[in-house]
Structure 1
Amino acid sequence: MSRAKIKDRLMTGIFYAIGWIMLAFLLYLMLTIIFDGLKGFQWDFLGAAGNGIFNQFFNTIYLVFLSLLVSVPIGIGAGVYLAEYAKEGKFLTIFEISIESLSSLSSIVIGLFGYLAFIMWTGMSWNILAGALTISILSIPLITTETNNAIRSLPVEYKEGSLSLGATKSETIRKVLISAAMPQILTGVIMAAGRGFGEAAALLYTSGQSTYINWQNFWKVISPSSPLNPFRSGETLSLHIWAMRTEGALNPSATQIANFTSAVLVVLTLLFTLVTRRISDRMRKRNNGGN
């Protein structure tokens, strides 16, 4: 056997080993969190009062949903601009550096900016909308980068074929390029949502640590206690974990609540990722003609 083949097999084995080690570590971490959460489970944890975390569960999904409503259109639009409209030059360089810098900023810094911009300058108290806008600032660079890379990686024939058939540039972008790049764009959306699910530091200054919801006022959006009111304070699952590990020390079930909340958060993020990946795979198969 030649030396080149030996090196090739050796490096292949090393990379396989690294992959399996990382997978085993992630599975161990996930199963440990879920097991610890279920170990001290009590039925009242599922409620919306007392030790229940149902309100925090809803707040988390609602906040991430609002943040994606803002970050997905802006992120995709910025990515399309970089891939199709921006010309080489100083402005493009500054734009790209700004995106990279924004994506590397600490969440606590973004949280302080969100507190200044969406709480102090508006004169409002802590609210879910402010938290969602703050999370959007963290999410936009991820979606922008993935969109830019996805469109640039498409075969040039996609664009040329569409234009040769008489489609305008905007039609080509909307109906061909974005559609073909959507599976990879969804990767950025998954990353953005995952960060929103697990974020705590940025929300500490914006969405607040209290929750009062009257589920009978569900459709009365203007009611201060309506679940759908974006201007009410809303503690998320990640903030609830932090609170139970610090301020909740006087609660005899604080540790069990924090562990169960962690398990719920892990399962929620995993389910969102699996569902989104499933949608992405179907889009990719459709773009490949069902193969």
Structure 2
Amino acid sequence: MTGNSSNKLYKQIKKTTDKMFTMGLWIITALILVLIFGLLLYILSKGLPKISFDFLVGLPSEIDAGGGIGPFLLNSIYVLIISLLISIPIGIGSGVYLSEYAPSNRFTEFIRTCVESLASVPSIVIGLFGYVLFVDIFNIGLTIIGAGITLSLLNLPVITRVTEEAIQTVHNDLREASYAIGATKAQTIVKIVIPAALNGIISGVSLAACRAFGESALILLVGGTGTSGEMWDWNFMSQGGTLPVHLWYVQSEALVEDASDIAQKTSALLVLITLLLSLCIRLPLWIRDFRFHSRSKRN
């Protein structure tokens, strides 16, 4: 009887402790979510109602009030596209190689360690590398192309590591079933493994893209603080100042009277574009999953 009572008491204490721990995690999660949503709503409510079309496409002004952010917005999109065009194919290809083709030895583990180390390097260090490479060695100055290439170096380790982890979570039964019907290794990877790991890969790309869009220290060193001064200038040798850099400049050194309003509107626009960017990257996956579930219900 004493042993049974002790076991029951132990189980009751364990069950109570588990409930308390779970409740504590839910409370902490709820507090964090409330804090994040409150901060986002505060930033958006301060600047979003003031944004106009003229502000989005207008040229910035150094002295007069009422200037826009057109060239900086264009540069932000331009630099982001250049960086993703470089980092996505190389990063996904590297992740596939490390997961599916690389032999399991010390050299491969050393490469993984290097990738993880690069993913944790501060962006300003990569920016200094880009400054030395493009400004000192190649002597092309502060440019959009230099900022885009350097930004891709920031994205590469993240996309590579996330891709490798996502592919490794795909069950081997899928690979074996594909081999059983005569598919080659390349066909299995392209048609079976990558589609099965696409959710994780897209999450990595979304994380890298949103981080890159909000990057400022790296752009400041390699792209500069200014633009060409024209709205629709696609010359990648122009200065590559982006919205985060412009926000820093407006808050610290701008002489215009409405610097505070420009900063509020720019902050709200950065938050809004980052949210929309994440949604747009994930949208194809949501459409694919919706169609899959719809077909499953019909069958």
| TM norm structure 2 | 0.87
Q: Is it true that 1:208 corresponds to 2:224 in the alignment?
A: yes
> Cα distance, 1:24 vs. partner?
0.5
**Residue in 2 that maps onto 1:239:** 245
**Residue in 2 that maps onto 1:223:** none
**Residue in 1 that maps onto 2:125:** 109
Residue by residue over 1:35-58, the C-alpha shift from the partner in whole angstroms, topping out at 9 and shown as x without a partner, is: 222476577533322310122112
Residue by residue over 1:79-122, the C-alpha shift from the partner in whole angstroms, topping out at 9 and shown as x without a partner, is: 11111111222211210111111011111110010111123222
The size of the alignment, in residue pairs, is: 280
Identity of aligned residues (%): 38
| Contact kept? 2:56, 2:73, Cα under 8 Å | no
Q: Is it true that 1:155 corresponds to 2:161 in the alignment?
A: no
> Cα distance, 1:281 vs. partner?
2.9
Q: Is it true that 1:10 corresponds to 2:9 in the alignment?
A: no
Cα distance in 1 between the residues matched to 2:58 and 2:227: 10
> Cα distance, 1:177 vs. partner?
0.9
**Residue in 1 that maps onto 2:39:** 29
Q: Is it true that 1:130 corresponds to 2:136 in the alignment?
A: no
| Contact kept? 1:30, 1:266, Cα under 8 Å | yes
Q: Is it true that 1:180 corresponds to 2:196 in the alignment?
A: yes
| Contact kept? 1:180, 1:287, Cα under 8 Å | no
Residue by residue over 1:122-172, the C-alpha shift from the partner in whole angstroms, topping out at 9 and shown as x without a partner, is: 221211111111111111111111110111001111111111111111111
Cα distance in 2 between the residues matched to 1:269 and 1:76: 22
Secondary structure of the 2:197 match is: helix
Secondary structure of the 1:211 match is: coil
Cα distance in 1 between the residues matched to 2:139 and 2:279: 40
**Residue in 2 that maps onto 1:280:** 285
Cα distance in 1 between the residues matched to 2:292 and 2:52: 47
> Cα distance, 1:284 vs. partner?
4.5
**Residue in 2 that maps onto 1:258:** 263
The one-letter amino acid of 1:149's match is: E
| Contact kept? 1:83, 1:148, Cα under 8 Å | yes
Structure 1 or 2, whichever has the larger Rg, is 2
Which segment is superposed worse, 166-175 or 67-76? Answer: 166-175
| Contact kept? 2:224, 2:241, Cα under 8 Å | yes
Secondary structure of the 2:163 match is: helix
The one-letter amino acid of 1:237's match is: L
Secondary structure of the 1:2 match is: helix
Cα distance in 1 between the residues matched to 2:92 and 2:291: 21
Cα distance in 1 between the residues matched to 2:110 and 2:291: 37
| Contact kept? 1:82, 1:148, Cα under 8 Å | yes
Secondary structure of the 1:65 match is: helix
Match of 1:72 among 88, 107, 113: 88
Q: Is it true that 1:192 corresponds to 2:202 in the alignment?
A: no
CA-based RMSD: 2.1
**Residue in 1 that maps onto 2:97:** 81
